[in-house]
Amino acid sequence: MTWGPAAGVDDDEHITCADLQQMVGQEPLFLLDVREPYEYAAGHIDGAVNIPLGTLQARIGELPRDVLIVCVCRSGRRSLQAAHLLRDCGYGARSLDTGMIGWSQLT
């Protein structure tokens, strides 16, 4: 499946931790951790790529356009900003609604 505005992705900006847990390993997606390197080093979702929010715009070309990008941060605020930026640039992106706080409660 192709993600992005042209592919008919709905306007939902978030993905729940439970939904992401089901998708990991089952659906093609790109996990983008937008926290600072020290936060990422303290713990992250397996397979997530760390590009801090402050550098995302300059590194946007490193991201795939053909899969859903799930943005992750500590609580969901920075990841929502990242998802908005990516969607404005034509990427299919969503924010993990409760971030690593919610994710750590599942695992």
Q: Active-site residues: which are they?
A: 73
With CA atoms as reference, report the closest residue to 99 among 23, 43, 19, 16.
Answer: 16
d(CA 103, CA 58): 28
Backbone angles phi, psi at 21, to 5 degrees: -60, -40
Ranges assigned E (strand) in the chain = 14-15, 29-33, 49-50, 68-72, 93-96
